[in-house]
Structure 1
């Protein structure tokens, strides 16, 4: 199995709870300092950190798998054609995991899923999108294929790449200068106007943009405006789903 489940660190978990609930996500784990929300496709984990901590407002790309050892074996077998062995079983702060290291130096974790079924009460149109910004999008795309992500058609023939996963969520590769890093967004496979109204009714600032490639909602980021939050985007995006 393979499911997208980014890890977002925040000092404002209750504000995120309001946003994610308005998006149609459902909380499925709620332990001290740790919450997991299911979308119709994919999950998002929230980790509570002190305000002003270095990781406050940042997202780490992460996925869930069924069997860590088997996932590592298959990933390295697929990558062997490139002469690489990017998957390594490790002991992380939260327990056993598999670390994937890409040619651009970017790393992310695969964790064993604590529960396998997606919550049926979550909005089925919403998908969690994990984003990989990199100066080497071709190598990033190969790495995602090695872990079992499936290439998805994109509207433009450029350096962007989109991937679906077997058990939910999408992975996006986007060219960017500087060190490789993670980002977070959402996709919505339905009418955006009712979703916009739902977000506004929850007291969230939200706007809609229309561009050549489609329509996108922009909602105020709960982490923006805090101390030391210069790295935090002012808004989060929810893109209308394209069918290629």
Structure 2
């Protein structure tokens, strides 16, 4: 199994928790001193931090099998921790590092807002290298920009992750919405969220003010890109 589960570090954990549940995510039972929230596809972990930043993260089922498969595809995996804290650490060609953590299989998405999918962004000066790493950990091709500056993947057990051209390696949290952006905007307004809708080259995006003082992006399903079959 593979599920997208980015980790967002923030000094505003409670405010983020309220925002995520208002967006339609479900707060899961507390575990390990952190909050986790499930969307219709993918999950988000919140951690208290002095400054806001996001890191990539994934959930898997069997760590040893995952490590063997990933290594055989050409991407090194370092096993960290022991006992219930074991995880696999992967480092991309650009130096960005992230964890794949084993969990008990299950679908936590019941009752979430339909069509709202976690989209973790891997900003990188090496899109092809990041894309190869995502393929090697088991992510499946989804959409690709004609210019080669964006390659998006889906995880079998929920969530999306995209390698996106950027000057420095880093990660960001966003969402994709499978329905019409205007419909989502109306839903969010009815829940008291001061969201706005903007037209962009690839489609429409709903912008939501977040507790860290920036804008959370919820993109309509990508248009004008190349799709990949199952």
Please, which of 88, 91, 96 is the counterpart of residue 101 of structure 1? 91
Question: Any unmatched runs of 5+ in structure 1?
Answer: 80-84, 225-233
Instruction: Kindly report which structure 2 residues correspond to 1:127-146, keeping only aligned pairs within 5 A, or say none.
Output: 127-146=117-136
Instruction: Kindly report which structure 2 residues correspond to 1:73-112, keeping only aligned pairs within 5 A, or say none.
Output: 73-79=68-74, 85-91=75-81, 95-112=85-102
TM-fit CA distance, 1:33: 4.3
Q: 1:164 corresponds to which residue?
A: 154
Coordinate RMSD, CA, aligned: 1.8
Q: 1:229 corresponds to which residue?
A: none
Q: Contact 2:145/2:151 (CA < 8 Å) preserved in 1?
A: no
- 2:39 is the alignment partner of 1:43: no
- 2:184 is the alignment partner of 1:189: no
TM-fit CA distance, 1:114: 4.3
TM-fit CA distance, 1:21: 1.4
Displacement over 3 Å in runs of 4+: none
TM-score by length of 1: 0.85
- 2:59 is the alignment partner of 1:64: yes
Alpha-carbon separation, structure 1, partners of 2:42 and 2:162 = 13
TM-score by length of 2: 0.90
TM-fit CA distance, 1:197: 2.8
Give 3-state SS (helix, strand or coil) of 1:16's partner.
Answer: helix
Q: Contact 1:129/1:170 (CA < 8 Å) preserved in 2?
A: yes
* Cα shift readout 1:166-215 (whole Å, capped 9, x = no counterpart): 0010010111113x111110000012223223323443321100123101
Question: Any unmatched runs of 5+ in structure 2?
Answer: none
- 2:194 is the alignment partner of 1:205: yes
Give 3-state SS (helix, strand or coil) of 2:16's partner.
Answer: helix
Q: 2:8 corresponds to which residue?
A: 8
TM-fit CA distance, 1:31: 4.5
TM-fit CA distance, 1:128: 0.3
Give 3-state SS (helix, strand or coil) of 1:168's partner.
Answer: coil
Instruction: Kindly report which structure 2 residues correspond to 1:227-238, keeping only aligned pairs within 5 A, or say none.
Output: 234-238=214-218
Give 3-state SS (helix, strand or coil) of 2:24's partner.
Answer: coil
TM-fit CA distance, 1:32: 7.1
TM-fit CA distance, 1:15: 1.3
